[in-house]
Amino acid sequence: MTPRAVLFDCDGVLVDSEPAAFDLLGDELAAHGHAMDREEMERTFVGTTITGVAERARALGVDFAPDWVERFYDRLYARLGEGTALMPGVAAFLDRLDRAGVVYAVGSNGTVRKMETTLSQHPEVWQRLRARLFSGQEIGAPKPDPALYLAAAQALGVAPADCVVVEDSPTGARAGVAAGMRVFGYAPQGGGAALAEVGAEVVDSFDEIAARIGV
């Protein structure tokens, strides 16, 4: 059945911002004597906020300074501003939703500034999303708390049961499931087992999502 609304995570779903973030984080961890490869960083940190990254790292014995989060964000915004690609098929999928009369919004654990930095580089999607950005940090309820997606649904005037969520992390997928929404686990590179474990329907493209929801 076609939903009335689609709610997107941002990083790794709409924009390919995660490589830059993990590159910077890897440099920071190595500089503090706690080197991790990409796979270990993803297992440990994916889906959380930068504040959450700092807390988890400190719990592992990484001596991040008290102002580390602010300094990391400054470096990350600068890196992302140099160029952040859209994920494949995003603009065409929004076109399909527009034609079907399905509304949409973005629900991210990142800051609004981060979403603005990446999405504004792509005018074809930015004009449609700029007024529909919701940050778990800014409402004080980052995922896996379902409050972020519930707030986005309420702003769109759509009941949770009529919403679809697109997520690439188990943390975000749990938020969508807890909100009572149908959740697609976006795994274009494979490896969707962790998403399936928390109740997401694993897909590898926006074309597959479009086929499943009938748009």
The pLDDT of residue 175: 98
The pLDDT of residue 197: 97
The pLDDT of residue 147: 98
For the ranges 4-13, 17-26, 194-203, which has the lowest average pLDDT?
Answer: 17-26
Say whether pTM exceeds 0.85: yes
Q: How far is CA 89 from CA 50, 59, 97, 105, 151, in A?
A: 27, 38, 12, 17, 26
Residue 72 in contact with residue 55, Cβ under 8 Å?
Answer: no
Q: Is 144 exposed, middle or buried (0-12, 13-18, 19+ CB in 10 A)?
A: buried
* Domain ranges for the chain: 5-16+84-213, 18-81
The pLDDT of residue 18: 87
161: left (phi over 0), alpha (psi -120 to 50) or beta: alpha
Residue 149 in contact with residue 165, Cβ under 8 Å?
Answer: yes
CATH architecture designation of domain 18-81: Orthogonal Bundle (1.10)
Q: How would residue 49 be classed by pLDDT, with cut points 50, 70 and 90?
A: confident
Residue 45, classed as helix, strand or coil, is: helix
Averaged pLDDT for residues 45-59: 88
Determine the CATH number of domain 5-16+84-213.
Answer: 3.40.50.1000
Please give the single-letter amino acid code of residue 141: A
Averaged pLDDT for residues 91-116: 97
The pLDDT of residue 42: 86
